[in-house]
Amino acid sequence: MSSDGSVRAVIFDMDGVLTDSEPLINAAAVAMFRELGLEVKAEDFRPFVGTGENRYLGGVAEKYGRALDIAEAKKRTYEIYLGLVPKRLNAFPGAVELVRACKESGWRVAVASSADWIKIDANLRKIGLPPECWDAIVTGDDVEQKKPAPDIFLAAARKLTLTPTQCVVVEDAVNGVQAAKAAGMRCVAVAQTFPAEQLQLADLVKPRIVELTLNDLGAPSPESPLPPLVPSMSMAPPPPSFLREGEGRPWGFWATLGFSLVIAAGFLVASTVTAVIILLAAMALGQEDLAHGVRDGSSGLFLALATWTSAPVGVALIWLFAWLRRGLPVREYLALKRVRGRHLARWLVLLLCFGVASDLTTWLMGRPLVPEVMLTLYRSARFPPLLWLAVVVGAPLVEELFFRGFVFKGLLHSFLGGTGAVLVTAIVWASIHLQYDWHGMTVIFLAGLLLGYARLKTNSIYPCFLMHALMNLLATVQVIVVVHAQRGLG
């Protein structure tokens, strides 16, 4: 990270700076509360401008002593808001031109907004500055503490590989100005949301963004070139264009598909090598039953060993292709985001309800609760704990990193959107379980829809992993009970 103190980047807040979205999100929030039977006033939201939608909605709910499901409230608010964007959202005069002038002058440009990605993406695309135009984008989901804490601007500086003193912030809100100064950055405020007298903590206050000039921000120095976004590669040639395009966003649809095929090939190669080694050992030792189980895939020992040998290969490839996406941390790409314990508990209870409903339906259809293929795998495991760990820990870990992590992220930000990401990952996940019949694959598909919905709602794969692991644990317990019951009867 460069330590030169001259200004090298401009970090823009979005709502109230680039777009006139404050009245729209305000109207959407008022409408959402009205649907809940609570009449609130537009000015009730003013103290929470710039703090992110969680606090924006939650703060008003607290004022009126109303309990609020933030996730559901945000979802409905965004539904209303996105309906207003196409016809009513506009860029402030001069905003788009200023961003382009900054880029043409050699500055890096970033967006640091406490809003969620769905809102940032919609706003930027509507005003003609789509996410791929920016060197970095930081959302409210990327930091623990929202404005007026400095976290969001410090995160933007890290993504830009610059120090705080090399960044200047353009803000419109009191909370945003406080955050910028707490981050140690120069701040220029535009009085488009709050009156100028409330923004005096800023280094400079202008009535409107159209009146801002490059000199107001601090003209970039041509004698001192910008450091590379990846400092360790400063002496290396620039990366290929396909790695540079769309920085700060996930891989697009086709890139996600291509990399996914490479990851799948890695799994297949690792499993094949394992199969060959076990097969040769079985033939050398005269273990014909083991050799037969490897050939037809019915050996529990082979399944366990193949899982544990292919898992490191799969995880490494997933991590590599996520890491290659410049400007987007791997943890963010794979949705490795902490979720509160009570929220995790709710999803686990929902999974249990799904399991009960699934088993009840299976029983009513006159089908066995435990498929014969699972009983065969257990009986041929040789060392059952190794199989249990593979099924309950190894498989959920790798499959969730791949399906609800890497693949989901790319599809979510493609033309398929959230619904498409949930549906496609569920279909493909079910299709790889060819050892089951149509009924088993249908159950897996429905479970995949539930896991995808959890991923979409929480923006984290932790609930998906725990739900997947719990589902496999319950299935394993059923297998053990049936096998031991059959032995007792025998």
Looking at per-residue confidence, does 99 or 291 come out higher?
A: 99
Instruction: Report long-range pairs for 356-361 (Cβ below 8 Å, ≥24 apart).
Output: 358/443, 358/446, 358/447
CATH T-level assignment (fold) for domain 9-16+91-244? Rossmann fold (3.40.50)
Class at the top of the CATH hierarchy for domain 22-88? mainly alpha
Residue 413 pLDDT more than 80? Answer: no
The mean of the pLDDT values for the chain is 85
Q: Which residues of the chain does CATH 3.40.50.1000 include? A: 9-16+91-244
CA pair distance 476, 457, nearest whole angstrom: 28
* Among 148, 150, 149, 147, residue whose Cα is nearest residue 158: 150
pLDDT value of position 124: 92
Residue 69 pLDDT more than 90? Answer: no
* Among 198, 206, 209, residue whose Cα is nearest residue 175: 198
* Among 218, 173, 175, 178, residue whose Cα is nearest residue 196: 173
Q: Which residues of the chain does CATH 1.10.150 include? A: 22-88
CA pair distance 64, 80, nearest whole angstrom: 22
Looking at per-residue confidence, does 365 or 413 come out higher?
A: 365
pLDDT value of position 303: 86
- The set of residues, in sequence order, having a beta carbon less than 8 Å from that of 62 and lying 6+ positions away, is none
Q: Which amino acid is at 219?
A: A
Structure tokens given for 184: 């140690």
When pLDDT is cut at 50, 70 and 90, the band that residue 5 belongs to is low
When pLDDT is cut at 50, 70 and 90, the band that residue 157 belongs to is very high
Residue 423 pLDDT more than 60? Answer: yes
| Lowest-confidence region among 261-275, 323-337, 415-429 | 323-337
